[in-house]
Amino acid sequence: MITVPVRLGDGRDYDVVVGDGARGQLADVVADRLPRAGRAAVVTQAALADAAWFADVDPGVPFDVHVVPDGEDGKSSATVDMLCRRFAAAGLTRSDVVVAVGGGLVTDLAGFAAAVYHRGTAYVNVATSLLAQVDAAVGGKTGANLPEGKNLVGAFWQPTAVLCDTATLATLPQREWACGRGEMAKYAFLGSGQPDASLLELPVDEQVARCVAIKADVVAADEREGGRRMVLNYGHTLAHALEAASRYDLRHGEAVAVGLVYAALLARRLGRIDDDRVALHRRVVAGFGLDGDLPGGADPATLVEYMGRDKKAHHDLTFVLDGPDGVEPVPGVDPADALATLVAMAADG
């Protein structure tokens, strides 16, 4: 097992445990970190609850299993309300614990429900998808979607612990692997020192641990996205636009892969990086088996409109872009440059 600490101070530090069988540490985590907990609410999805390994999920206290819907349509305020009502019906108190078992959708929903139930109930993430392990389950950003966009309601609410069980990855469909690898690709450009493609060469548990360590450093420095934490949205501005437009058969990580290539091309257009750095972006994305091309039929003008609604924006177009000082937020990007880069990208595709 690899343990990565997340240092927040104020008694809120926690560990992320990465490895084959990490879910087996759940009862010890609850007993050690939450000794007053007398009951747990385990939140998951139907397919995971039916998996053979789910029988090993044991928080060490009596628990109920609460199943949330599949798909982004189920990642809604209505589902959060449903969870909270079920917590109340089960007698869950503020001293008890919510356990999220699943991918990013589950950890986002369960974490948000825990944040608002009794104005804050502890939760533990048992991350079972690659996307959740390298990104969604770590850092305390929870939320749900609105019809107007992804993750527009939510809360910063840190978990008590995160268990990244790499054994559960064996059952992932290929596209779920691609989804996680899209998020993983961005971390090649977020660590200290010059970016490179070395992440591609590591075994999966070390890949996950490196990504978690980079995210932990960023979160510790900027827990509530006041500045530096925005770099974790690298590649996401276009990715969220592609998802919100709802016209493309793309998973989140697949959309991020396209967004990373677009961000590199936009940074080059603005004179922030050179051709070699753009080529590195393409090499990393391709090395993870991902397609960095804009989907066929994409309408650049529509995508620019959606990017203007991104939560990083402050009444302007704000991107996270690579540059001479590394990846950083860049406000006030001219919409003409954003559009021209998309048009050129579409033509190249």
Q: What is the pLDDT of residues 89-140, one digit of tens each?
A: 999 999 999 999 999 999 999 999 999 999 999 999 999 999 999 988 999 9
Q: Look at residue 315 in the predicted model and tell me its pLDDT.
A: 60
309 is catalytic: no
Query: How long, in residues, is the chain?
Result: 349
Active-site residue, selected from the candidate residues 23, 75, 210, 240: 240
Give the C-alpha separation, 114 to 108, whole Å.
10
| pLDDT single digits (tens) 249-292 | 888 899 999 999 999 999 999 999 999 999 999 999 999 999 99
The strand pair at 161-165 and 149-156 is best described as unpaired
Alpha carbon separation from 140 to 6, 69, 159 (Å, rounded): 11, 22, 6
CA of 149: how far to CAs of 99, 174, 221, 253, in Å?
Answer: 26, 26, 27, 17
Please enumerate in sequence order all residues whose Cβ is within 8 A of that of 306, keeping only pairs 6 or more positions apart, or say none: 240, 241, 244, 245
- pTM beyond 0.85, yes or no: yes
Q: How far is residue 217 from each of residues 127, 154, 186, 195, 258, measured CA to CA in Å?
A: 19, 22, 15, 16, 25
- Among 215, 251, 281, 311, which one carries the catalytic annotation? 215
Q: What pLDDT is recorded for position 152? A: 84
Does the annotation mark 233 as catalytic? yes
Is residue 314 part of the annotated active site? The answer reads no
* Residue 287: per-residue pLDDT: 97
Q: Is 27 or 312 the better-scoring residue by pLDDT?
A: 27
Distances in whole angstroms, Cα of residue 198 to Cα of each of 50, 95, 179: 37, 43, 20
Catalytic residue among 141, 150, 210, 268: 141
141 is an active site residue: yes
- Maximal CA-CA distance, the chain: 60
pLDDT exceeds cutoff 90 at 333: yes
66, 75, 229, 281: which one is catalytic?
Answer: 229
Would residue 236 show up in a list of annotated catalytic residues for this protein? Answer: yes
Catalytic residue among 66, 150, 181, 233: 233
**Residues forming beta bridges with residue 98, ordered by sequence position:** 41, 123
Q: Catalytic annotation on 201?
A: no
Q: d(Cα 240, Cα 229) in Å, to the nearest integer?
A: 17
Known catalytic membership, residue 311: no
The string over 206-215, giving b where at least 16 C-beta atoms fall within 10 Å of a residue's C-beta and e elsewhere, is ebbbbbbbbb
Specify whether 119 is catalytic: yes
Which of 58-72, 222-236, 307-321 is the least confident region? 307-321
pLDDT range class, residue 34, cuts 50, 70, 90: very high
How many whole angstroms separate alpha carbon 263 and alpha carbon 274?
A: 13
Q: What is the CATH number of domain 2-172?
A: 3.40.50.1970
With CA atoms as reference, report the closest residue to 268 among 284, 258, 280.
280
Contacts of residue 45, defined as CB under 8 A and 6 or more positions apart, other chains included, come to 67, 68, 69, 70, 102, 105, 106
Higher pLDDT, 258 or 316: 258
pLDDT tier, 310 (very low <50, low <70, confident <90, very high otherwise): low
Over residues 70-84, mean pLDDT:
93
Q: How confident is the model at residue 10 (pLDDT cuts 50, 70, 90)?
A: confident
What does the pLDDT read at residue 312?
57
Average pLDDT, the chain: 93
Q: Which residue has the tokens 């919510």?
A: 98
Domain ranges of the chain: 2-172, 175-348
Active-site residue, 225 included = yes
Instruction: Determine the pLDDT at residue 341.
Output: 96
Q: Locate 242 and state its tokens.
A: 């592609």
The active-site residue out of 183, 223, 243, 254 is 183
Q: Which of 66, 186, 251, 252 is catalytic?
A: 252
Q: Which of 181, 236, 251, 312 is catalytic?
A: 236
**Domain range 175-348, CATH class:** mainly alpha
Distance in angstroms (rounded) separating the CA atoms of residues 322 and 312:
16
Catalytic residue among 225, 243, 281, 312: 225
Told to judge if 240 belongs to the known catalytic residues of this protein, a careful annotator would answer yes
Amino acid (one-letter) located at 95: S
